[in-house]
Structure 1
Amino acid sequence: MSDRVVIVGAGQGGLQVAASLRQEGFAGPVTLLGDEPGLPYQRPPLSKAYMKDGDESRLALKPASFFETAGIDYRPGIIVAGIDRPAGEVVLDNGERLGFDHLVLATGARNLRPPLPGIDLPGVHELRGLADAARLRAMAEGVRRAAVIGGGFIGLEFAAVAAARGIHVTVIEAADRLMSRAVTPPISQRFLDFHRAAGVDVRLGALGTAVLGGRAAEGVALADGQEVAADLVLLAVGVRPNMELAAEAGLAVANGIVVDGHLRTSDPRIFAIGDCANFPLGGIATRLESVQAAVDHARHVARTITGAGQPPYDALPWFWSDQGPLKLQIAGLSTGWDDTHVLTDATGAVDTVLAFRDERLIAVEAVNQAGRHMAARKLLAGAPVMWDRLQGLDWDLRAALAA
């Protein structure tokens, strides 16, 4: 009998596992379980393009015909209640059991909900899935003032769209700079300048303590005693990996589902990928909230299941964020940087930051510099690139590639 693969989670990573298995020649049964209705869809546009045009049809990753043609048993709207490891079965909430020889957990992450009084009032929104985005977009039609709690990618992407529609937006960020977990200070400053120039009221070092209102949200109270008036409040303070299924099944978890270099959990039949996986990257335990990582993880797991020999996973991480006319593209991880070199455009605005650790280039953050971003990805995926080499080339990444 052919091996059976069950995939829990039908986001971009889970779908890619199923597609890649077929591309790699896997002929056994493949079952893809999604907890949302409808076809698998792209999440990144939800806070950007979808918020502008509301065109749901452009989000689908594959048409319905794909699953029939590829022989993939796709089941939307399915809740997985548990994993019976001794029996090698996934248990659904309706009591049905699905046997597996290989199980892939692509369970993603969920939004953090800070313990704020008033958080459950009408008018308080999250933005993770399509249903969230549809509600938020519909609500925003009649809104004059919006408060965004959190100055990360999602909050700022929404803020840019809302401000462009004439909504007065206040961003409440507890840290002393925007996107502080993801970018270096010069990029934080570039985006702070942009949002403030666009009319967004950005409050740094500000802590929300309660959502104000009676029957619906009317604003946010801050720790310093100030109040921010708002008809709509968006919670965008980060996510938490969905690792409960794995933990209840006795798999190792720690800030995600712990996996090895081939994305196997502590049970060699079970893999974890994407936002829920804590994997080794350059010898460091890493969890990435990234479409690129989820898709690359998926391809790696498909090759492993089909027996293709390959080294441990080590793909270069890269990310992006569209905020108004600014496209931020990041290659590598700037975590632990100890020095930076800043490049500016003709107006003097920061358009690229090179981040170094121990004089070695570890990340490049580029704003509206697609060519430089692609050069950075190629450079960072190769041999180490040192400060003095780039300095000698006048910080020209393309020249470093050609050298």
Structure 2
Amino acid sequence: MNHVVVVGAGQAGAALVARLRTEGFTGQITLIGAEKVPPYQRPPLSKAYLLGDMTQERLYLRPPAFYADQDIKLRLDVSVTAIDPAAKTLTLSDAQVLHYDQLALTTGAEPHRLPAKIGGALGNVFTMRDLADADAIAPAFAPGRKVLIVGGGYIGLEAAAVASKRGLDVTLVEMADRILQRVAAPETSDYFRALHQSHGVRILEGTGLKELRGNDTVTGAVLTDGTEIAVDFVVVGVGVKPATALAEAAGLEVSNGITTDDFGRSSDPHIWAAGDCASCLFEGERIRIESVGNAIAQAEAVACNILGANSPYQPKPWFWSDQYDCKLQIAGLNLGYTDVYMRKGDAPGVQSNWYFNGPRLIAVDAMNDPRNYMIGKRLIEAGRSPAPAALVDPATDMKALLRA
């Protein structure tokens, strides 16, 4: 094996190539990225970077010199137009053809966009996914301007928090009955609704966007309840889809992402996948885990398996979100939860919500509560489930649950 090619220069791609070298691989490595900048962190884009608290250089995952120092060929501002699995070649947008011995796809995910027929193609309608998005939207975040945020998931709520802190007039619409409905329990939704409303954000649940109005640039919006509002710009945060077009065109199996086995290998024995574009098995279910933690861990596992480790990847999901002065930390996956138990902290704004599927603890949402987040994470990873009555009892020594 002489040449490993990685397509997608995000968090997963950067982690994968670095791990190949750490594990002693001395062959050729090529990392291909469609953007003009080296691999960078994405979570700060909608928070610290947009607020102006972080420079572009601080976003970089590694100093640019790292790749040359590690003899990793970093090809930026170029995309892959086709994969030929039989010939084991890639065709690039500059017409160059590369041969690979092993190929890893870390192509990430793409944001859903508003249809053009309802005004999605108007100027000042933004998504928030990459550095170009953040740079494009930053000038719009001026005090007093009116922003409409479409979507009450974490991306939409983070954008709302930044806009509110910058002094904008913020309206957020969520078509579902409540914000965070797809990813969190009502208790967590209630917490963040109250948090945003306390900062002046207008949240409209059970309300969608009917159309945007304007000539070349958006000037207003009509909501599904008939309300018309003036709008200076729009932020669309209605989820993402895995970037699988390249894999599908190459004939790889795709099921809500590039289908991978326990080792990260796709349906082609020489092609692997990791990060937001990959679907993997978790407790018997085929899922995608959209998180930085999973992108790194899965990519590093793939790197080791490319080199012959033959070690199954076992996801340990964890997530976070920063909104105003609240840090939300999530451990586990709440899929299929049947009950939620709330534990209030000793200080205002401190709370943890514990998800159970029957008698089994499966996830925890911790708001400004890092200690209970870590306890919950350790319990879940150890497969241990304390009695719910102990979790909600303020007298319980939570650390003792780890020893019980």
Q: What TM-score results when the alignment is normalised by the length of structure 2?
A: 0.96
Tell which deviates more after alignment, 343-352 or 151-160: 343-352
Instruction: Quote the Cα distance in structure 2 between the aligned partners of 1:103 and 1:127.
Output: 28
Instruction: Quote the Cα distance in structure 1 between the aligned partners of 2:87 and 2:208.
Output: 48
Are residues 143 and 14 of structure 1, via their aligned partners in 2, closer, same or farther at CA, if it must alter by over 3 Å? farther
Look up the SS of the partner of 2:104 in the other structure: strand
Residues 119-152 of structure 1 deviation map (CA, whole Å, 9 limit, x = unaligned): 1111111111101101111122366110000011
Residues 252-302 of structure 1 deviation map (CA, whole Å, 9 limit, x = unaligned): 011111111111110011111111111101110011111111101111001
Kindly state the Cα deviation for residue 102 of structure 1 after the two structures are TM-superposed. 0.8
Instruction: Quote the Cα distance in structure 2 between the aligned partners of 1:143 and 1:55.
Output: 24
Kindly state the Cα deviation for residue 383 of structure 1 after the two structures are TM-superposed. 2.7
Aligned to 2:125: 124
1:138 aligns with 2:126: no
Are residues 143 and 128 of structure 1, via their aligned partners in 2, closer, same or farther at CA, if it must alter by over 3 Å? farther
Aligned to 1:4: 3
Instruction: Quote the Cα distance in structure 1 between the aligned partners of 2:214 and 2:295.
Output: 39
Look up the SS of the partner of 1:15 in the other structure: helix
Aligned to 1:17: 16
Give the AA of the match of 2:274.
Answer: I
Aligned to 1:402: 403
Look up the SS of the partner of 2:382 in the other structure: coil
Are residues 125 and 96 of structure 1, via their aligned partners in 2, closer, same or farther at CA, if it must alter by over 3 Å? same
Aligned to 1:67: 67
Look up the SS of the partner of 1:87 in the other structure: coil
Aligned length: 401
Instruction: Quote the Cα distance in structure 2 between the aligned partners of 1:144 and 1:384.
Output: 49
Q: What TM-score results when the alignment is normalised by the length of structure 1?
A: 0.96
Residue pairs, 1:256-275, within 5 angstroms: 256-275=257-276
Given that residues 221 and 228 in structure 1 are in contact (C-alpha distance below 8 angstroms), is that contact kept between their aligned partners in structure 2?
Answer: yes
Kindly state the Cα deviation for residue 216 of structure 1 after the two structures are TM-superposed. 1.3
Look up the SS of the partner of 1:366 in the other structure: strand
Given that residues 78 and 94 in structure 2 are in contact (C-alpha distance below 8 angstroms), is that contact kept between their aligned partners in structure 1?
Answer: no
Aligned to 1:185: 186
Given that residues 108 and 242 in structure 2 are in contact (C-alpha distance below 8 angstroms), is that contact kept between their aligned partners in structure 1?
Answer: yes
Look up the SS of the partner of 1:381 in the other structure: helix
Give the AA of the match of 2:37.
Answer: G
Aligned to 1:280: 281
Instruction: Quote the Cα distance in structure 1 between the aligned partners of 2:348 and 2:39.
Output: 42
Given that residues 282 and 314 in structure 1 are in contact (C-alpha distance below 8 angstroms), is that contact kept between their aligned partners in structure 2?
Answer: no
Given that residues 143 and 232 in structure 1 are in contact (C-alpha distance below 8 angstroms), is that contact kept between their aligned partners in structure 2?
Answer: no
Instruction: Quote the Cα distance in structure 1 between the aligned partners of 2:38 and 2:273.
Output: 22
RMSD of aligned residue pairs (Cα, Å): 1.7
Are residues 79 and 277 of structure 1, via their aligned partners in 2, closer, same or farther at CA, if it must alter by over 3 Å? same
Instruction: Quote the Cα distance in structure 1 between the aligned partners of 2:390 and 2:268.
Output: 44
Give the AA of the match of 2:146.
Answer: R
Aligned to 2:364: 364
1:155 aligns with 2:156: yes
Tell which deviates more after alignment, 69-78 or 176-185: 176-185
Instruction: Quote the Cα distance in structure 2 between the aligned partners of 1:31 and 1:103.
Output: 10
Give the AA of the match of 1:335.
Answer: L
Residues 223-257 of structure 1 deviation map (CA, whole Å, 9 limit, x = unaligned): 11111221010111011111011111110011111
Aligned to 1:382: 382
Mind listing any 5+ residue stretches in structure 1 that lack a counterpart?
none
Residue pairs, 1:268-347, within 5 angstroms: 268-310=269-311, 312-346=312-346
Residues 66-112 of structure 1 deviation map (CA, whole Å, 9 limit, x = unaligned): 01111100111111001001101111122211111111000011110
Percentage of identical aligned residues = 41
Are residues 250 and 94 of structure 1, via their aligned partners in 2, closer, same or farther at CA, if it must alter by over 3 Å? same
Are residues 84 and 95 of structure 1, via their aligned partners in 2, closer, same or farther at CA, if it must alter by over 3 Å? same
